[in-house]
């Protein structure tokens, strides 16, 4: 029986029951109500450029293969053989002609179709067996400006409706010129002993932690510019369908600057005017500020660093983090490499900022093994700009000031909507206005 989650999330008063961070029954409900339902980022198109390219990842705990077939289509399918269930692909990424299962040798195409098996006459002579019924189970696939998303839910709305006006914000990274973006090759994978919602909550709107958690790291990398500048002046949080972005318009190139590479900041500055002509001055300024964003439920990024990451659930107390560095395709190889190094220095498993975060999320999770601890509420009450007007026209539910709990509260409100909904018909979608 599913649990009523709304009763655990007091969105209005900013109180959240810790149960959602430790309870296995709730976690199982998440796999069904959230992960089997939502659109999920699975790859950047640059990772599966041509026929035979594939990567493997997860949607919830379902292992999936993302592969480019001969007809150029991108296919997302379960990495589980329909014969006895074995995994058909064990590599993280590569190039291949077909996936052959280790167990009995069934062979699948890049489009997931079952192409053949050893001793195939045994099946040919079996009445009622139809090879076309036994391909790898496929997801729906749609892309948005280079990002590939998939869902296993036939009832889900289109990706465009799922993202809604959040696309307006995403364009500030994905549509800054005609050449688009790409991932630097390679995926960084690491395991964290934390609930997947801690990193999601952190990226959807928690700039507040940076002032304390990242203080020493930022001071060492940003010494010349005087550390991290974050305030509620000229900054905002915005939420669309549970996706969130918090940003400053102070134009200080904070994220990029934290990598300690002046050439990248110079590169971003040199492009600002062109981007402004293309997208307007607001989004031109959003690109490089101290900012973060997240797409519901578990896909996040930092503008300016251009680190992109997914928080893949492995039970209520473990998360597999996959991360990549996204760069503008038109940048020189030298700039791309500087970006790669900067991202490794800051937001890789050995990066100075990532280590700060991981430790906090792990201890926030592990503490819940204590019976008394796990029954306490968590405080999401910071709301210092309540009622203040927004002087510019921005999509979504907009709150003035980066330093508040607005986006995180809206993330958990959305979480409760999914967890309690019987079908997609019960899940509200904001109508695109921009
Ligand atoms: S389990 Fe894959 S061929 Fe038998
Ligand atoms: Fe952080």
Q: What is the pLDDT of residues 225-237, one digit of tens each?
A: 666 778 999 999 9
126 and 202 both lie in a single domain: no
C-alpha span between 345 and 333 (Å, rounded) = 18
The tokens for 23 are 């309870």
* Ligand 2 centroid distance, CA of 402 (Å): 14
Question: Percent of the chain beyond pLDDT 90?
Answer: 85
Count the neighbouring beta carbons within 10 Å of the beta carbon of residue 183.
19
Q: Cis link prior to 297 (omega < 30° from 0)?
A: yes
C-alpha span between 367 and 201 (Å, rounded) = 17
22 and 56 both lie in a single domain: no
Tally the C-alpha atoms within 13 A of residue 364's C-alpha that lie toward its C-beta.
Answer: 22
* Ligand 1 centroid distance, CA of 61 (Å): 20
Ligand nearest to the CA of 230: 2
Residue range 355-410, pLDDT digits in tens: 899 999 999 999 999 999 999 999 999 999 998 999 999 999 999 999 999 999 99
* Ligand 1 centroid distance, CA of 191 (Å): 29
Number of compact structural domains in the chain = 2
Q: Residue 57 falls within a domain, yes or no?
A: yes
pLDDT for the residue numbered 212: 93
- At residue 359, the 3 state secondary structure works out as helix
- At residue 323, the 3 state secondary structure works out as strand
11 and 124 both lie in a single domain: no
CB of 83 shorter than 6 A to ligand 1: yes
* Ligand 1 centroid distance, CA of 131 (Å): 14
306 and 346 both lie in a single domain: yes
pLDDT for the residue numbered 10: 96
Question: In terms of Cα–Cα distance, which of 106, 109, 58, 59 is closest to 81?
Answer: 106
Ligand nearest to the CA of 357: 2
Element (H, E) at 171: helix 166-174
pLDDT for the residue numbered 227: 67
pLDDT band at 218 (very low <50, low <70, confident <90, very high): confident
pLDDT surpasses 90 at 246: yes
Ligand 1 atom 3, closest CA: 104
- At residue 228, the 3 state secondary structure works out as coil
pLDDT surpasses 80 at 251: no
262 and 281 both lie in a single domain: yes
Domain termination site, one of 114, 143, 172? 143
Ligand nearest to the CA of 106: 1
**Which residue has better confidence, 127 or 222?**
127
Q: Residue 98 falls within a domain, yes or no?
A: yes
* Ligand 2 centroid distance, CA of 209 (Å): 7
Residue 255 near residue 293 (C-beta atoms within 8 A):
no
Domain that holds residue 387: 6-32+164-426
Domain termination site, one of 84, 109, 143? 143
Question: In terms of Cα–Cα distance, which of 234, 270, 229, 247 is closest to 168?
Answer: 247
The tokens for 14 are 């900013």
- For residue 101, the ligand 1 atom closest to its alpha carbon is 2
208 and 339 both lie in a single domain: yes
218 and 139 both lie in a single domain: no
Strand partners, 64: 57, 78
Q: Is 365 exposed, middle or buried (0-12, 13-18, 19+ CB in 10 A)?
A: buried
Strand partners, 53: 95
Q: Which residues, at least 6 apart from 31, have a Cβ–Cβ distance to it below 8 Å?
A: 60, 61, 313
* Ligand 2 centroid distance, CA of 346 (Å): 10
Q: Residue 157 falls within a domain, yes or no?
A: no
CB of 101 shorter than 6 A to ligand 1: yes
Q: CA-CA-CA-CA torsion for 45, 248, 266, 353, nearest 10 degrees?
A: -70
Mean pLDDT for all residues in the chain: 94
- For residue 104, the ligand 1 atom closest to its alpha carbon is 3
We report the CATH number of the domain holding residue 119 as: 2.102.10.10
Residue 3 near residue 28 (C-beta atoms within 8 A):
no
Q: Residue 158 falls within a domain, yes or no?
A: no
Ligand 1 atom 1, closest CA: 84
CB of 97 shorter than 6 A to ligand 1: no
Q: How far is CA 400 from CA 44, 107, 250, in A?
A: 32, 55, 14
139 and 12 both lie in a single domain: no
Domain termination site, one of 86, 111, 143? 143
Q: Residue 422 falls within a domain, yes or no?
A: yes
Collect residues with CB below 5 Å from ion ligand 2. Answer: 357
**311 in the Ramachandran plot: left (φ > 0), alpha (ψ -120 to 50) or beta?**
beta
160-173: string of b/e by CB count within 10 Å (b at 16+)?
A: eebbbbbbbbbbbb
88 and 234 both lie in a single domain: no
293 and 266 both lie in a single domain: yes
Q: What is the length of the chain?
A: 434
From 80, 81, 135, the mutation candidate for ligand 1 (largest count of ligand atoms within 8 A of CB) is: 81
We report the CATH number of the domain holding residue 273 as: 3.90.380.10
pLDDT surpasses 70 at 319: yes
Q: Residue 159 falls within a domain, yes or no?
A: no
302 and 212 both lie in a single domain: yes
* Ligand 1 centroid distance, CA of 107 (Å): 9
27 and 44 both lie in a single domain: no
Q: Per 3-state DSSP, what percentage of the chain is helix, strand, and coil (rounded to 5)?
A: 35, 25, 40
Q: Residue 101 falls within a domain, yes or no?
A: yes
Q: Residue 156 falls within a domain, yes or no?
A: no
């Amino acid at each position: 029986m599913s649990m009523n989650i709304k009763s655990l999330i007091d969105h209005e008063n900013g109180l959240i029951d810790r149960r959602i961070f430790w309870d296995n029954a709730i976690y199982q409900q998440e796999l069904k109500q959230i992960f089997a339902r939502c659109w999920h980022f699975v790859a950047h198109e640059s990772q599966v450029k041509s026929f035979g390219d594939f990567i493997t990842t997860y949607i919830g705990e379902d292992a999936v293969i993302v592969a480019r077939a001969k007809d150029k289509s991108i296919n997302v399918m379960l990495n589980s053989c329909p014969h006895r269930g074995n995994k058909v692909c064990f590599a993280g990424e590569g190039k291949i002609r077909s996936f052959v299962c280790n167990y009995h040798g069934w062979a699948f195409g890049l489009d997931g179709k079952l192409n053949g098996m050893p001793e195939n006459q045994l099946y040919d002579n079996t009445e009622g067996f139809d090879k076309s019924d036994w391909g790898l189970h496929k997801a729906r696939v749609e892309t948005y400006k280079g990002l590939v998303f998939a869902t296993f839910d036939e009832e889900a709305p289109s990706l465009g409706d799922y993202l809604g006006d959040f696309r307006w914000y995403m364009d500030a990274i994905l549509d800054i010129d005609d050449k688009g973006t790409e991932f630097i090759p390679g995926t960084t994978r690491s395991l964290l002993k934390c609930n997947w919602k801690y990193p999601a909550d952190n990226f959807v709107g928690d700039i507040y932690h940076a002032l304390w958690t990242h203080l020493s790291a930022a001071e060492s990398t940003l010494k010349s510019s005087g550390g991290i500048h974050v305030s509620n002046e000229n900054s905002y949080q915005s939420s669309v369908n549970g996706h969130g972005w918090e940003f400053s318009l102070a134009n200080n190139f904070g994220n990029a600057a934290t990598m300690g590479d002046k050439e990248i900041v110079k590169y971003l500055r040199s492009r600002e005017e062109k981007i402004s002509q293309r997208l307007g001055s607001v989004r031109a300024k959003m690109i490089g500020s101290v900012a973060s964003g997240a797409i519901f439920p578990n896909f996040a990024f930092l503008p300016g660093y251009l680190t992109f990451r997914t928080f893949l659930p492995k039970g209520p107390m473990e998360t597999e983090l996959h991360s990549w560095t996204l760069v503008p395709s038109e940048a020189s190889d030298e700039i791309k490499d500087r970006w790669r190094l900067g991202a490794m220095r800051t937001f890789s498993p050995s990066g100075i900022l990532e280590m700060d975060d991981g430790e906090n999320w792990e201890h926030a999770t592990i503490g819940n093994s204590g019976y008394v601890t796990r029954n306490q509420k968590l405080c999401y009450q910071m709301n210092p700009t309540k009622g203040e007007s927004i002087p510019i026209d921005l999509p979504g539910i907009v709150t003035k000031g980066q330093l508040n709990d607005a986006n995180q509260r809206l993330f958990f409100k959305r979480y409760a909507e999914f967890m309690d909904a019987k079908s997609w018909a019960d899940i509200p979608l904001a109508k695109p206005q921009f």
